Amino acid sequence: MINSFRLGKNKFLTLDTYCRQDYPTNTMHFFQSFLSIIAGIGIGTLLTVAAQKEINKHVETTCYGPADQIASVRSFMGTVKYCVKGGIKQ
């Protein structure tokens, strides 16, 4: 509930006061949203690293040929492996 007090005889200048119980804060809602965002980033990062490891295993098993080579590139997720096809095509 808002209580208004008129300051002096000026009808345009008022001082409004309120009780905390009348206006609950959204602190808990912000905290839950913040935790959800942090948890989502963490889970997404872990899933990305796991997927990259599986892709590396797939590259190692499918890159077979007399002239094929596996090229490794370092990234923030770890080592990324590529299959470089070799040989001369005619």
Residue 10: band (very low, low, confident or very high) from pLDDT cuts 50, 70, 90: low
| Mean pLDDT on 22-31 | 70
Portion of the chain with pLDDT greater than 90, in percent: 19
For residues 19 and 37, which has the higher predicted lDDT (pLDDT)?
37
Of 40, 81, 74, 77, nearest to 59 by C-alpha is: 81
CB-based contacts of 13: which residues, under 8 Å, 6+ apart? Answer: 6, 7
Residue 44: band (very low, low, confident or very high) from pLDDT cuts 50, 70, 90: very high
Structure confidence at residue 40 (pLDDT): 95
Structure confidence at residue 19 (pLDDT): 64
